[in-house]
Amino acid sequence: MITSDQIRAARALLRWSGKDLAEKTGLGFSTLMRLEVLEGVPSAQAKTLETIQKVFERAGVEFIGTPESGAGVRWRHK
């Protein structure tokens, strides 16, 4: 599962606003912002987190590490 820090970092890497992410995922802006402020893996449905992760991955972001050890993001190698 992705962490709140990874969501914020991926959004920053892509230079997306919260509104951009909401439009691309089809999720509510306030829901996304709430997920970003939590610590660790947000308490959300797995489907919601998977949707966010897939949108970021389609945009070229790779999720690395684990929530327990150095979770982060980087550009996916092409």
pTM over 0.75: yes
Domains and CATH numbers, the chain: 4-75 (1.10.260.40)
Specify which residues 72 forms β-bridges with. Answer: 64
User: What does the pLDDT read at residue 27?
Assistant: 97
CA distance 49 to 35: 9
Which structure tokens are listed for 33? 């912002």
Q: Could you report the per-residue pLDDT of 15-65, keeping only the tens digit for each?
A: 999 999 999 999 999 999 999 998 899 989 999 999 999 999 999 999 999
Give the pLDDT band (50/70/90) at residue 77: confident
